[in-house]
Amino acid sequence: MNFESDIQEDVLVADVTDQDNFRDLMVYNDDFNTFEHVINTLIKVCMHDVHQAEQCTYLIHYKGKCSVKKGMYEDLRPMREGIADAGIKAAIV
């Protein structure tokens, strides 16, 4: 009896060189914007769910900054601009 199967698995493997090009979208505390404003901006611009946006906002408030998204520069740039347009300090690092 032959128990070998002809099933093939598709495996997603991230290219290591792509990960080397990943950047952080960092949002900084400015002691000006409200929690509600920052949370709503992260939900709208970064597509965070409420829980994730709240956690990031608390980190921004208590630690002074938080990496709210990781990715390629080209993908993060419109998000950084959207956050900045909302009056919140952000940078791609």
pLDDT tens per residue, range 3-57: 555 556 665 555 555 677 899 999 999 999 999 999 999 999 999 999 999 999 9
Domains annotated on the chain, with CATH: 19-92 (3.30.1390.10)
HSE of 67 in the Cβ direction (CA atoms, 13 Å)? 8
What are the backbone dihedrals phi and psi of residue 89, each rounded to the nearest 5 degrees, phi first? -75, 125
Give the count of beta carbons closer than 10 Å to the beta carbon of residue 83. Answer: 24
Q: Please compute the mean of the pLDDT values over residues 66-83 and round it to a whole number.
A: 98
**Residue-level pLDDT at 49:** 98
Q: Looking at the DSSP assignment, which residues form a beta bridge with residue 24?
A: 70
Q: Please compute the mean of the pLDDT values over residues 58-85 and round it to a whole number.
A: 98
**Residue-level pLDDT at 91:** 99
**Residue-level pLDDT at 19:** 74
**Residue-level pLDDT at 7:** 59
Reference 27, options 49, 70, 56, 52; nearest CA is 56
The answer to whether 92 and 26 have CB atoms below 8 angstroms apart is: yes
**Residue-level pLDDT at 41:** 99
